[in-house]
Amino acid sequence: MLAPMAGITDLPTRALVAGFGAGLVVSEMIASHELLGKSPGTREKAELGIGIEGTSVQIAGREAAPMAQAARMIADQGARIIDINMGCPAKKVTQGLSGSALMKTPDHALRLIEAVVNAVDVPVTLKTRLGWDDEMLNAPIIAKRAEAAGICMITIHGRTRCQFYKGHANWRAIARVKEAVQIPVIANGDITSTSAARTALAHSGADGVMIGRGFQGKPWLLAEVAHQLYGTPAPVIPQGADFGDMVQQHYDAIQRFYGGKLGPRVARKHLGWYMDTCATPADLRRALLTCTEPGDVDKLIKQAMFYTPEQVAT
């Protein structure tokens, strides 16, 4: 499963990852009050791929009524799955008492969960962390109460909020959540390869894995891990000039989605990750990332994006 990542897992990127054969892709986190208020800048996030099979829409908030209303709006538009964010560690989110800050007020968090579950007929899932800090590792308790409220799957990032993304994900701690509930539990955090996924599953007893930063520059990774773990169809990994064609198509899709002004800025980070994957020389990398002429960007992509795993390995 593809983790929701703000500013990264937009519709063009999710479509690319899903095209390789990911089990589930999750939209960027959508703040319920922004969705209801139609705040400037939320249009792109609200392009959720609603109705597309294998797509989940993630919402966040701190008040039950707006969360329920946002969930109902999204479900009415055809969403297949709604996910509640209780794991975002960003200060601008937790200072608003949403995201992982909800782990500090489990009674209030449960009221939000109940409101969303009761507002819609589609499955509702939950993504959270191990707890707020090492003194408040309450994910198992919250998970059990969430299950009783109607949550049908829970994803656990194996860190506390106060860890942010530092240190290592504690996959063994996720096992305590798995033991507390009957619903599927998904392990998340530091899963960047099939080997890591296999170890995470062994340590946590989870039913599946969610991959975030590990997919960057390798949109086929989720399908590759699923193939090696579960025997699903193997993805066709683009190599050589085909890799450059994939990058070009992704770049063009981002331009169409965001427009000519914002698109290049959004695409730049993806180009950087792709060049990490194919070990692009530093001078060519710098030229591509600083280029502003669309025609020249296309030419540089063809020069910079040539991927052969054997060549990179050596």
The residues annotated with a catalytic role in the active site are 88
3-state secondary structure of 139: helix
With beta carbons less than 8 A apart as the criterion, state whether 294 and 254 touch.
Answer: no
Dihedral angle, C-alpha 144, 147, 151, 154, nearest 10 °: 40
CA 38 – CA 35 distance, rounded (Å): 5
With beta carbons less than 8 A apart as the criterion, state whether 104 and 160 touch.
Answer: no
At position 196, the amino acid (one-letter code) is A
Burial letters for 122-153: b for 16+ Cβ neighbours within 10 Å, e otherwise? ebbbbbbbbbbeeeebbbbebbbbbbebebeb
CA 277 – CA 168 distance, rounded (Å): 23
CA 25 – CA 215 distance, rounded (Å): 12
- One DSSP character per residue, 153-168 reads -EEEESS-GGGTT-S-
Question: Phi-psi region for residue 150, left (φ > 0), alpha (ψ -120 to 50) or beta?
Answer: left
With beta carbons less than 8 A apart as the criterion, state whether 128 and 113 touch.
Answer: no
CA 278 – CA 291 distance, rounded (Å): 19
Q: What is the 3-state composition of the chain as percent helix, strand, coil, each rounded to the nearest 5?
A: 50, 10, 35
Within 10 angstroms of residue 38's Cβ, the number of other Cβ atoms is 9
Q: Which two tokens stand for residue 246?
A: 């994939």
